[in-house]
């Protein structure tokens, strides 16, 4: 039977996603056929799959690490938060509805059927399936009906390795404490542990590793030193926005990105953040847009109308108009594009109660939300300069109006996308991933008066994955992980 190994964590953001990606690359280089799998994910950073659905961004990166096309079966249940207590539920790539947190608990038995179906499909085509848990199994108040951690591990007989993050402190208590609160049958599924993100002299934690092993009876599979270049890989969720900004010396062009409460697919900006000649800042609610910004970006949003309300409440609409009076540029991506128009209508209540809302009126277009979601990979060129791009569409809503006669992009299939204002200062598009193409990014930098320094973004991701795989081969007992049954 195909092997499976599950990494669970003592909490969220302990590095499970990246460890699965690194192990996927390491095991793939050993000649194994690897498939990543996460039963349930919660993220508004999603990717379009080859089979026409959507999954969490982390699973798309893990598929890339395994050198396979992403599939909806790699993340059969994706929750896309629309509020503090509710989320859109995507099953095997397609939305089936929205649910409040308490209501969602009653959905789990039937969702487990989809989880197990997807897992068996992957197991049929792989030598090993690397499974990522969600949050922590120590959240025992959520154990009933669990499909993401021990519920899945027990249902499939998958051995578990528990990951703790020493960088945040308290890793000994986190690991030992997790065992203490688990039911005995759940704790028996854990065969070992990994301590992640260590800084300093590893010999200073030898006693700590021994103490954890002694208290739990689990095998220590390694102490993984902090890997700074992990920041160059696409982030999974908005936790990454809490990290300190990338510092850039000098006075290159400044790009201000509005950090909406329900920001989505903000990894669109990653290639720009890594350009040494640019300064990219995310502007949180409560802060003004920097007056010296050369470009303001309105990114994607999971709840466009609510985030448009937020934009106005912050006074950002006033800042944007002042920015345009200074002759500077504004770009809207997906939901941000919709906000730039004259109006947004949601007659079907896709994002909540049916309603209409005036847009910013910076593009002569209007949007109507529709029940059908467009999920497709696209390629093409920008209309103004012929610079190529590749990316994907992931949106509900049709946008029409006079300014679409000046599209931002031409697709390879003959369609046009987006709109540009008469003065050329305001533009919008539905395409995600626009800046990952080196030539497209260079064209935008030229418009801002800067020269590109990062000329191999996609190749750089491959290099980081390879070096992280080397890192794990050095610091983890990878042979021991492969022997787990």
Alpha-carbon distance of 407 to 459, in angstroms, equals 30
**For helices 16-29 and 457-475, angle between their N-to-C axes, nearest 10 degrees:** 90
> Annotated catalytic residue: which of 432, 471, 475, 478?
432
> Annotated catalytic residue: which of 262, 310, 334, 478?
334
User: Please, are residues 47 and 53 in contact by the beta-carbon 8 Å criterion?
Assistant: no
Is there a catalytic annotation at residue 310? no
Is there a catalytic annotation at residue 334? yes
Residue positions annotated with a catalytic role: 334, 432
């Amino acid at each position: 039977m195909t092997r499976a190994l599950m990494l669970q964590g003592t909490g969220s953001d302990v590095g499970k996603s990246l460890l699965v990606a690194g192990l996927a690359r390491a095991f793939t280089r050993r000649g194994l056929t690897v498939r990543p799998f996460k039963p349930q994910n919660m993220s508004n950073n999603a990717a379009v799959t080859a089979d026409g659905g959507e999954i969490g961004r982390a699973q798309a990166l893990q598929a890339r690490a395994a050198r396979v096309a992403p599939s909806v079966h790699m993340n059969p249940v994706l929750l896309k938060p629309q509020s503090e207590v509710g989320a859109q539920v995507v099953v095997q790539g397609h939305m089936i509805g929205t649910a409040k947190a308490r209501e969602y608990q009653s959905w789990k038995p039937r969702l487990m059927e989809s989880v197990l179906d997807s897992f068996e499909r992957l197991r049929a085509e792989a030598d090993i399936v690397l499974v990522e848990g969600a949050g922590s199994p120590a959240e025992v108040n959520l154990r009933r009906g669990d499909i993401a951690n021990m519920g899945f591990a027990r249902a499939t007989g998958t051995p578990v390795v528990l990951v703790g993050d020493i960088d945040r402190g308290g890793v000994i208590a986190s690991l030992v404490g997790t065992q203490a609160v688990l039911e005995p049958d759940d704790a028996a599924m854990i065969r070992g542990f990994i301590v992640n993100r260590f800084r300093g002299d590893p010999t200073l934690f030898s006693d700590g590793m021994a103490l954890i092993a002694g208290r739990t009876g689990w095998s220590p599979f390694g102490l993984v030193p902090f890997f700074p270049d992990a920041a160059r890989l696409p982030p999974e969720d908005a936790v990454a926005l809490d990290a300190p900004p990338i510092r850039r010396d000098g006075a290159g062009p400044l790009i201000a990105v509005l950090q909406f409460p329900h920001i989505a697919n903000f990894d669109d900006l990653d290639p720009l953040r890594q350009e040494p000649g640019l300064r990219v800042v995310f502007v949180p609610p409560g802060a003004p847009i920097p007056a010296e910004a050369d470009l303001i970006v309105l990114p994607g949003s999971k709840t466009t109308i609510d985030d448009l309300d937020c934009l106005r409440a912050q006074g950002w609409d006033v800042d944007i108009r002042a920015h345009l009076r200074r002759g500077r540029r504004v770009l809207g991506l997906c939901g941000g594009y919709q906000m730039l128009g004259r109006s947004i209508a949601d007659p079907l209540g896709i994002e909540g109660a049916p309603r209409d809302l005036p847009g910013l009126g910076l593009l002569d277009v209007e949007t109507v939300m529709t029940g059908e979601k467009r999920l497709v990979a696209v390629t093409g060129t920008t209309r103004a300069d012929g610079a190529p791009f590749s990316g994907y569409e992931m949106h509900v809503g049709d946008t029409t109006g006079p300014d679409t006669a000046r599209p931002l992009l031409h697709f390879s299939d003959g369609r046009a996308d987006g709109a540009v204002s008469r003065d050329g200062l305001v533009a919008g598009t539905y395409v995600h991933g626009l800046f990952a193409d080196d030539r497209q990014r260079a064209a935008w930098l030229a418009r801002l008066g800067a020269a590109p320094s990062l000329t191999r973004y996609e190749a750089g991701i491959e290099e980081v994955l390879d070096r992280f795989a080397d890192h794990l081969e050095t610091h983890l007992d990878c042979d021991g992980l492969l022997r787990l049954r």
